[in-house]
Amino acid sequence: MAPLADAEVRALAHLARLELDDATVARLADELAAHLAYVAMLDELDTSAVEPMTHAVAMTLRLRDDVPGPALTADDALAGAAATRDGCFEVPAVID
């Protein structure tokens, strides 16, 4: 089957925020096409009588009481971050 177009792979990579080099884009173009061709087998199935099974077990949502538990300290919350400033996570400037 034909590989995906490079442009489509790059668009997907942007949607997923992945910076990929040309070689990786080319490789994924082939691999994605192969994968999609394989899973196309699912089209053989008549699924008109079933609903999508988004949960493994049929259950309904349990509700939680509106009672606060302990919060993490700011130190713990920020502990893993590579860059912090004034008690906040720091990122390159965001322009709205």
The contact pattern for other proteins, residues 68-87, with x = CB under 8 A and - = no contact, is xxxxxxx-xxxxxxxx-xxx
CA dist., res. 68 & res. 64, Å (int): 10
| Spatial CA neighbour of 75 closest among 66, 88, 62 | 88
Is residue 23 close enough to count as binding other proteins by CB under 8 A? no
CA dist., res. 85 & res. 67, Å (int): 31
Is residue 60 close enough to count as binding other proteins by CB under 8 A? yes
Residues near other proteins, by CB under 8 A: 9, 12-20, 24, 28, 31-32, 34-36, 38-45, 47, 50-57, 59-74, 76-83, 85-96
